[in-house]
Amino acid sequence: MNSLPDQHSKNEYKENDKPPSITPRLARPWRVAVLANIKEHDKPLPPDVPPDAGADFDYIETINHIRAALETDGHWTMFLPADSNLPYALKAAKPDICFNIAEGLGGDAREAQVPALLEMLKIPYTGSRVLTNAIALDKTLTKRIWRDRRLPVAPFQEFITGEEPLRPDLRFPLFVKPAREGTGMGVDVHAIVNDESELRERARYVISMYKQPALVETFLSGREFTVAVIGRTDARLYSRHPEWYDADGFHRFPILELDSTRSVTPGVYGLQAKAQSIGAEGAPGYICPAQVEPDLAKKLQHYAWRAHHLLGALDVSRVDFRLDRDGNPCLLEINPLPGLTPAYSDLCLIAAAEGISYADLILEILYLGASRWGMLEPREVPPPLPKKRG
Ligand SMILES: Nc1ncnc2c1ncn2[C@@H]1O[C@H](COP(=O)(O)OP(=O)(O)OP(=O)(O)O)[C@@H](O)[C@H]1O
Ligand SMILES: [Mg+2]
């Protein structure tokens, strides 16, 4: 890893000043801090947490891959753990920008904790801001917003006590999951419930184990897809790869299908399935680009883009879908902090499937974020759009 020169005398800024990046614009290379929560296998889990607590945290190897990718463009990098020491570590390290992948620690909106802190300290960072990260973690709130704007979601009901009367329009089988987790936590084959007693048992389990509401939805029995978008209206003014972007400033990645038919948890892409090595027995099939009718592909990409906008997501996100029994796509959730483990995380598989290198993906997320904070000079004229194929 590149060492970190102390170039901060020239970037020094006082509290309550504007972010240092805006005036004057910082010369590159930048000091980039990768912020993340790391898996700590040697530490016993505290009492009172679910058995899969921390499953969404990252391996240190992923941080090293991100740092190496950032360094390919000359930046100095560091890793700062996103724990309660982070405010002090940030003050000491004085990064120019943070590459945020932190999942956060506890509370009802943990993925918004680090963005909130960075906003308070006026430190530029990548990706979505506080409100989006908070709402997107809560699948019920997210679905209410999408439903309000006519995006297709499965009928649902939130259970807070587990004793609520079941709404009559919810027909078995149903699917029960924690309302505010990710990485398939709290999701396995027992999430599918076939009658009222299974429903009550599972809802009570989720509520007491995960200390949050249980989201109960119609079970969507069809194929599963995940669809990523990257970009912004003015992305071509700042991108290293303006040719990636459509006229609206967004790049539509190819659709990834998750085939759980032969996975360890048949029909459910939960934590245990996600943990299997790709290609191993019991792993889901990862098919990218997915073989789908052009009509369905268009719908999935349009819904993913709308879903991103409606939640105010910035620069990059991944939206998960399943088809209902009639083949209609329904949105499950949005991930404004998609996993970034090379050759493993869905977004990395998707990018690789169309020949986008890991370093290019990471640097694109960095520069899209940095440009929002005024850290990059825009091109004066956007480069011409690539010619449409076909
Ligand atoms: N209503 C549903 N019907 C059928 N399967 C579902 C339903 N909701 C969730 N699933 C299954 O559970 C998995 C995990 O659900 P979901 O994507 O909502 O949660 P997550 O843990 O936040 O996912 P991620 O790992 O993408 O953060 C889905 O990928 C899908 O296989
Ligand atoms: Mg998901």
CATH number at residue 182: 3.30.1490.20
Domain-located, residue 361 = yes
Among the listed residues 369, 50, 27, 313, the one whose alpha carbon sits nearest the alpha carbon of residue 182? 50
Among the listed residues 134, 126, 104, the one whose alpha carbon sits nearest the alpha carbon of residue 38? 104
Final residue in a domain of this structure, among 108, 127, 146 = 127
For residue 63 the two structure tokens come to 């941080």
Both 208 and 191 in one domain: the answer is yes
Both 213 and 273 in one domain: the answer is no
Ligand showing the shortest atom-to-Cα distance for residue 215: 1
What one-letter code names the amino acid at 192?
I
Q: Do you know the residue count of the chain? A: 390
Most ligand 1 atoms within 8 A of CB, residue of 332, 335, 344, 345 to mutate: 332
Angle at 43 between CA 272 and CA 39, to 5 degrees: 50
Indicate whether residue 231 lines ligand 1 (CB < 6 A): no
Domain-located, residue 14 = no
Both 260 and 279 in one domain: the answer is yes
Both 317 and 363 in one domain: the answer is yes
Residue with tokens 């149903």: 174
> From the CA of 341, how far away is ligand 2's center (Å)?
16
Q: Whose CA is nearest to atom 26 of ligand 1?
A: 183
Domain-located, residue 91 = yes
Both 104 and 244 in one domain: the answer is no
End-to-end CA separation in angstroms for the chain: 44
Both 229 and 320 in one domain: the answer is yes
Domain-located, residue 23 = no
Both 207 and 236 in one domain: the answer is no
Both 258 and 338 in one domain: the answer is yes
What one-letter code names the amino acid at 138?
D
Q: Please give the pLDDT value at position 274.
A: 87
pTM equals 0.92
Q: What are the phi and psi torsion angles at 198 (to 5°)?
A: -65, -40
Cβ neighbours of 43 (radius 10 Å): 8
Both 182 and 307 in one domain: the answer is no
Among the listed residues 289, 283, 232, the one whose alpha carbon sits nearest the alpha carbon of residue 256? 289
For residue 242 the two structure tokens come to 């303006």
Q: Are strands 174-178 and 214-218 parallel, antiparallel or unpaired?
A: antiparallel
Rg of the chain's alpha carbons, rounded to an integer?
21
Indicate whether residue 182 lines ligand 1 (CB < 6 A): yes
Number of domains in the chain: 3
For residue 190 the two structure tokens come to 């027992």
Final residue in a domain of this structure, among 218, 244, 268 = 218
Cβ neighbours of 232 (radius 10 Å): 20
Q: Which residues contact 166 (CB under 8 A, 6 or more apart)?
A: 157, 196, 199, 216
CATH number for the domain spanning 259: value is: 3.30.470.20
Cα dist. 225→58, 295, 297, 332 in Å?
A: 23, 15, 10, 10
Output the tens digit of pLDDT for each of the chain's 390 residues. Answer: 544 444 443 333 333 334 445 556 778 899 999 999 998 877 777 778 888 888 889 899 999 999 999 999 999 999 999 999 999 999 999 999 999 999 999 889 999 999 999 999 999 999 999 999 999 999 999 999 999 999 999 999 999 999 999 999 999 999 999 999 988 888 999 999 999 999 999 999 999 999 999 999 999 999 999 999 999 999 999 999 999 999 999 999 999 999 999 999 998 898 889 889 999 999 999 999 999 999 999 999 999 999 999 999 999 999 999 999 999 999 999 999 999 999 999 999 999 999 999 999 999 999 999 999 999 999 887 777 876 654
Alpha-carbon distance of 221 to 311, in angstroms, equals: 26
Domain-located, residue 174 = yes
Domain-located, residue 276 = yes
Indicate whether residue 220 lines ligand 1 (CB < 6 A): yes
Helix (H, G, I), strand (E, B) or coil at 201: helix
Both 37 and 119 in one domain: the answer is yes
Indicate whether residue 249 lines ligand 1 (CB < 6 A): no
Indicate whether residue 226 lines ligand 1 (CB < 6 A): no
Q: Which domain holds residue 298?
A: 224-372
CATH number for the domain spanning 85: value is: 3.40.50.20
For residue 55 the two structure tokens come to 């499953």
Indicate whether residue 156 lines ligand 1 (CB < 6 A): no
Indicate whether residue 322 lines ligand 1 (CB < 6 A): yes
> From the CA of 271, how far away is ligand 2's center (Å)?
10
Most ligand 1 atoms within 8 A of CB, residue of 181, 320, 331 to mutate: 320
Domain-located, residue 138 = no
Both 367 and 236 in one domain: the answer is yes
297 near 321, Cβ under 8 Å? no
Eight-state DSSP code of residue 56: T
Domain-located, residue 106 = yes
349 near 256, Cβ under 8 Å? yes
Q: Which residues contact 28 (CB under 8 A, 6 or more apart)?
A: 74, 75
Q: Please give the pLDDT value at position 389.
A: 54
Q: Please give the pLDDT value at position 9.
A: 37
Q: Whose CA is nearest to atom 29 of ligand 1?
A: 269
Alpha-carbon distance of 207 to 179, in angstroms, equals: 9
> From the CA of 185, how far away is ligand 2's center (Å)?
10
Q: Please give the pLDDT value at position 8.
A: 41
Final residue in a domain of this structure, among 195, 218, 241 = 218
257 near 288, Cβ under 8 Å? yes
> From the CA of 79, how far away is ligand 1's center (Å)?
30
Alpha-carbon distance of 375 to 278, in angstroms, equals: 38
Both 240 and 202 in one domain: the answer is no
Residue with tokens 């699948």: 139
314 near 127, Cβ under 8 Å? yes
